[in-house]
Structure 1
Amino acid sequence: MTTAAVPAAAEDIAFSPHLAGASILVVDDEPGMRNFLVRMLSTRCRHVAEAGDVAGASRLLEATPFDLIILDNVMAGRTGLEWLEDLRGSGFYREVILITAFADLDTAIKALRAGAADFVLKPFRSNQILNAIARCLDRARLMRENFVLRRALNALPGGAAHMMAGESPSTGAVRAMIERVGPMPTTVLVTGESGTGKEVTARALHAVSPRAGKPFVPVNCAAIAPEIIESELFGHLKGAFTGAASSREGLFFYAQGGTLFLDEVGELPPAMQSKLLRVIEDKKVRPVGAEREIPVDVRLVAATNANLTEQVAAGRFRQDLYYRLNVVNIHLSPLRERAADVAPLARLFMAELSALLGVAPLDLTDGVLGALARYPWPGNVRELRNVIERSLILGDFPRDVVPDDDAQEDEEAFPQALDAVEKAHMLKVLGEAGGNRAEAARRLGVSRKTLDRKLKAWNG
């Protein structure tokens, strides 16, 4: 091929704030075109690589997770369009811009159907290709952000600052560990009882890491059916299994460049444990039904409320996977063991929730705070937040948490009212979770057994 790009004036060249962090692969059999694109992009992108044919490009894809490919169509041997069809069929989901000097409407339609994000005709000006790149990167970013935001809507309320607040020595030690380990790429295992703030700890690790501007993707391993968890994590191709009407990216794809948080990792099925171990070791994933592995750049943070050491001894959890996950362990003590954290947390939740609900805050007197500090909090920080919220709704604190000897008449009525609110809230969350009891229990901050027992008592 003899066509070349047409330079543009510096002020005409488009700029995308996401271009600087991008990794781009240029595939063209014409050295002049490759040199032009590489020179133009190398000063604007994090990483640029080049290949003169699809065979060389395939080798580069095996080793590096590129964000975008600029692909020439007419090349010696296989055409770019043929290779693009194979890429999509093998589970490659990144953006591809097809460039060519010989194009008609039929070729353009075939390119878009094959999965090209854009189609650029040679010769082109610098700002034309840069605009195409910017559009592709922005579209991919928006797709990932929308996915992450949709998942965040299902997350428990309350920010990291709230859950990590406290004055106890153990909470101070956790904050110090987060500051030390967060900037490193090390895999972290967060342990502790349900409701102690394991996801918030993972978010805090992400927030102080170099990946802070990239996605944080949480997944509850216990809330996904064993038969579909591989597809959820790694993605799948169309027709890979019954019901796979179209190809789909996995959670590793959406977490690319960021952090994937595997909550309740001890609930992973044995077969999935083996596959996760391979991903950690090879830094590649294979979508269900795909023939090739795809490089990934994801930091893993795992969490569990189970004793993984006991599970390893019982043969329910792989020992080698446990060692790969437990490079650094952050243990979160139950709230009953850090009473000094109760008052700061209660004040924060009271201020946040009273503003959210549009009601006047209740008075957190020394007596109330003392009673809250003495309460054992089986549901930990999550339960404390729920108690504050229910108290604001009902206008008083529950007597089983904050006794009041001067309110004998209310003692009998209040638990009944509280039970009614609890029932309505649990059924509402269950409905929002589509009837999935495991997911509803996660959102409520209770165990699945507790939810089952409540529903049975209500004839649910």
Structure 2
Amino acid sequence: MSETFQNPTAMSVLVVDDESGMRSFLKKALARRFTLVEVAGSVEEAEQLRSRCHFDLLIVDISLPGRDGIEWHEALDLDTRRSDVIFMTGFADMDTAIRALRAGAADFILKPFRLEQMMQSVDRCIERRLLRRENLMLRREMAHSHPNTIIGNSANLMEVKEVIRRVAPTNSVVLIEGESGTGKELVARSLHQLSGRSGSFVAVNCGSIAPELLESELFGHVAGAFTGARGAREGLFSFANGGTIFLDEIGEMPLQMQTALLRVLEQRTIRPVGSEKELPVDVRVVAATNRELLAEVDAGRFRRDLYYRLNVLNITIPALRERPDDVVDLVHHFTRQLAAELGVREVAWSHEDLQVMQNYDWPGNIRELRNLVERCLLLGKPPAEYWRSQEANDAPAMAGGEGYPVEMALKEVERLHVLKVVEEQQGNKSAAARVLGVSRKTLDRKFKEWGLSE
């Protein structure tokens, strides 16, 4: 048995197969490897399960009722939390195998198969995923080993920098608020950098970990705490001991975990899953959210006492549209940075390009700006020309084939473009958000601003 399974980490798997016998067989077998095992008999059931939590591994039959398993996988979110996938089929041919591999399959197994064959494939997936997790943490630490720089000198951003400078040396909890893409993690890293704390900076996205696994991820577990926990494992709070833990998307944390977090903040101790012993920790907690937490409190989705415990020191990051004077500095910064990363020639944008970008509303904030600069560098198109070409491509369906009138306000062009993309995605806002390069929450906010129904 490999070292990986002597010291396992909490992982989850979803089996999608229309044969009940196969689902039961695999669920029982996989329980030895995974903390969470779910099964579904159709794509619709699988989508419902995926909407509730993330799965590290998908084991999917290609021949599913109503929809091809490969087509379904190709339509899944291609983000940093993408699941590994093993495809199964009883009707293999070369074309199907090629399709599966192009869809990113980790393996392709022909039915009927021996259990040992499936377990070997599963073990390889787990080992690769654990290695990716470790490498990702190392890369993040290396990437952020240099001083963190918050770009911009607008009045409201200077206020944020001053607050960071004043609160960084303290050990107090900090709550960072702001829209998606405004740079909340960068602020958290700056707080850690200026704090003088000797431990590591550990970032956790509370919305990307299955609720059933979050406690083990944060606090660790002892051997035998749950099925598959054959060895003890330290949690992320332990890794951050002496340093800072950044709890991003804190509004996504389940209520049960909110109770556990409140105890940690008050007692300065953690209790690994399955342990009766509390361990002291010296961790500075920085939390972030793009939700209105008070509204979440009123709705009963967030603990009031935890909110006030987190909101000791508050930093609100202004949206990019609220500090247009910083756009030019950010464009120059991203141009230099991305040109070096991509190995392309650094360009000097024209006054027209900079003016267009300053006048844009930036619903995706700094993340959207960076994506635009990267896209323009790769395509070799200045931003103004890129936007004109996009408008020309969309004009036949949106403006009667005549393009957008030159006197039309940029915000109206934005609205028409967004509505067209949503229409092309058959009303699927999540898919439209991926095409637009913004978050689903940003898209919902724009629809609310425009007075359109959800």
For the aligned pair, the TM-score class normalised by the smaller chain equals: 0.5 to 0.7
Deviation of 1:283 (Å):
0.4
**Superposed displacement of residue 365, structure 1:** 1.6
* Correspondence for 1:446 among 418, 421, 439: 439
One-letter amino acid of the structure 2 residue matched with residue 186 of structure 1: S
Q: Would the alpha carbon gap of residues 332 and 392 (structure 1) be closer, same or farther in structure 2, given more than 3 Å must change?
A: same
> 2:365: which partner in 1?
380
Partner of 1:299: 284
Native 8 Å contact 1:238 1:244 kept in 2: yes
- Contact 2:373–2:383 at 8 Å: present in 1 too? no
Matches within 5 A, 1:184-223: 184-211=170-197, 213-223=198-208
For residues 214-267 of structure 1, the C-alpha deviation after alignment (integer angstroms, 9 at most, x for no partner) is 200000000000000000000001111112122110000000000000000011
Deviation at 1:154, TM superposition (A): 6.3
Letter in 2 for 1:324: R
- Contact preservation (8 Å) 1:163, 1:381: no
RMSD of the alignment, in Å?
3.3
TM, length-normalised to structure 1:
0.55
C-alpha contact 2:148 2:190 (8 A) present in aligned 1: no
Between the aligned partners of 1:399 and 1:368, the Cα distance in structure 2 is 5
What do the CA deviations read for 1:97-153 (whole angstroms, capped 9, x no partner)? xxxxxxxxxxxxxxxxxxxxxxxxxxxxxxxxxxxxxxxxxxxxxxxxx98863263
Check 1:157–1:327 CA distance in 2 against 1; reply closer, same or farther (3 A cut): same
Which has the larger displacement, 258-267 or 234-243? 234-243
Assess if the C-alpha contact under 8 Å between 1:148 and 1:217 holds in 2: no
Match of 1:183 in 2: 169
The CA distance in 1 between the partners of 2:146 and 2:156, in whole Å, is 16
Q: Are residue 324 (structure 1) and residue 309 (structure 2) matched?
A: yes
Instruction: Output the CA distance in 2 between the equivalents of 1:231 and 1:349.
Output: 37
Distance 1:302 1:261, change over 3 A: same
TM-score by length of 2: 0.56
Sequence identity, in percent?
48
Which ranges of structure 1 fall in alignment gaps of 5 or more residues? 1-145, 413-436, 452-460
- Mapped contact 2:206–2:252 kept (Cα < 8 A): yes
1:446 partner letter: S
Of residues 352, 356, 371, the one that matches 2:337 is 352
Please give the secondary structure, in 1, of the residue aligned with 2:329.
helix
Tell me the SS of whatever aligns to 1:288: coil
Aligned-residue offset at 1:408: 7.0
Tell whether the 8 Å contact from 2:356 to 2:384 is kept in structure 1 after alignment: no
1:36-76 per-position Cα deviation (integer Å, ceiling 9, x unaligned): xxxxxxxxxxxxxxxxxxxxxxxxxxxxxxxxxxxxxxxxx
| Cα offset, 1:397, TM superposition | 3.3
CA–CA separation in structure 2 for the residues paired with 1:340 and 1:449:
22
TM-superposition CA deviations, 1:241-297 (whole Å, max 9, x none): 112122110000000000000000011101000010000000000000001100000
Q: Which amino acid aligns with 2:195?
A: S
Partner of 1:341: 326
Counterpart mapping for 1:228-239 below 5 A: 228-239=213-224
**How far apart are 1:358 and its partner, in Å?**
1.3
Q: Tell me the CA shift for residue 410 of structure 1.
A: 12
Aligned length: 276
AA in 2 matched with 1:203: R
Tell me the amino acid that sits aligned with residue 237 of structure 1. V
AA aligned opposite 2:188:
A
CA contact (8 A) 2:219 2:236 kept: yes
| Cα distance in 1, alignment partners of residues 142 and 254 from structure 2 | 25
Read off the aligned partner of 2:274 and give its amino acid letter: G
Deviation sequence 1:281-340 (CA, Å, 0-9, x none): 000000000011000000000000000010111111001000110001000011011101
Q: What SS is found at the alignment partner of 2:207? A: helix
Within a 5 Å distance, the mapping from 1:264-283 to structure 2 comes to: 264-283=249-268
Query: Is contact 2:353–2:383 with CA below 8 Å preserved after alignment?
Result: no
SS in 2 for 1:227: helix
Q: Is the 8 A contact 1:188 1:327 kept in 2?
A: yes
Q: Which amino acid aligns with 1:239?
A: G
Q: Secondary structure at the match of 1:185?
A: coil
Question: Does residue 164 in structure 1 map to residue 150 in structure 2?
Answer: yes
Match of 2:229 among 217, 240, 244: 244
Q: Secondary structure of 2:176's match?
A: strand
Instruction: Measure, in 1, the Cα distance between the counterparts of 2:242 and 2:143.
Output: 25
- Structure 1 position 287 matched with structure 2 position 280: no
CA contact (8 A) 1:362 1:395 kept: no
1:384 aligns to what SS in structure 2?
Answer: helix
Where does structure 2 lack aligned partners over 5 or more consecutive residues? 1-131, 397-429, 445-454
Q: Could you say which residue in structure 2 is the equivalent of 1:151?
A: 137
In 2: Cα distance, 1:400 partner to 1:318 partner: 49
1:159 and 1:200 in contact (8 A); partners too: no
Structure showing greater Rg: 1
In the TM superposition, structure 1's runs of 4+ consecutive aligned residues that sit over 4 Å from their partners are 146-149, 154-163, 398-402, 407-412, 448-451
Amino acid at match of 1:150: L
Query: Would the aligned equivalents of 1:371 and 1:402 in 2 still touch at CA under 8 Å?
Result: no
What letter corresponds to residue 196 of structure 1 in structure 2? T
CA distance in 1: counterparts of 2:143 and 2:394, whole angstroms: 30
C-alpha distance in 2, partners of 1:162/1:255? 19
